[in-house]
Amino acid sequence: MTILARIARFLFWLLVLSWSMWLLRRIFARMVQNTAAVPQNSTEDSTAAQTAATSRRLVRDPVCGMHVDETLSIPLREGGELVHFCSIACRDAYAAETKKLAANG
């Protein structure tokens, strides 16, 4: 077989293989999409889920700068201000730093 025939055969099977993979990927995506799209039984559940998803607020940790969900953060009331932290270590570091600043006056 000549070299051109081998190259043509290789390209043909490469095209068939890539088309088959594309087709399988589309079929798999539709199957996943159909199982994920479970109909809601009541409108109250969907409304509660929407309000819970939209009511979450991100707060910034002043020590490391990480954004944390307000409900998952560790709060600390410093004077009249409420400060949120991502971890206990950041909260302790912040408290130690404010004590140093207060002591230095």
The boundaries of the domain holding residue 28 are 1-35
Question: What's the number of domains the chain is made of?
Answer: 2
Round to whole Å and give the CA distance between 23 and 13.
15
Question: Tens digits of per-residue pLDDT, 3-26?
Answer: 999 999 999 999 999 999 999 999
Question: Tens digits of per-residue pLDDT, 32-91?
Answer: 887 776 555 555 566 666 665 566 788 999 999 999 998 888 999 888 889 999 999 999
64 and 100 both lie in a single domain: yes
30 and 64 both lie in a single domain: no
| Placement of tokens 């994920």 in the chain | 36
pLDDT at position 34: 79
Please report whether residue 49 resides in a domain.
Answer: no
Encoded amino acid at 19, one letter? W
pTM > 0.95: yes or no: no
Half-sphere exposure at residue 5, Cβ-oriented, CA atoms within 13 angstroms: 2
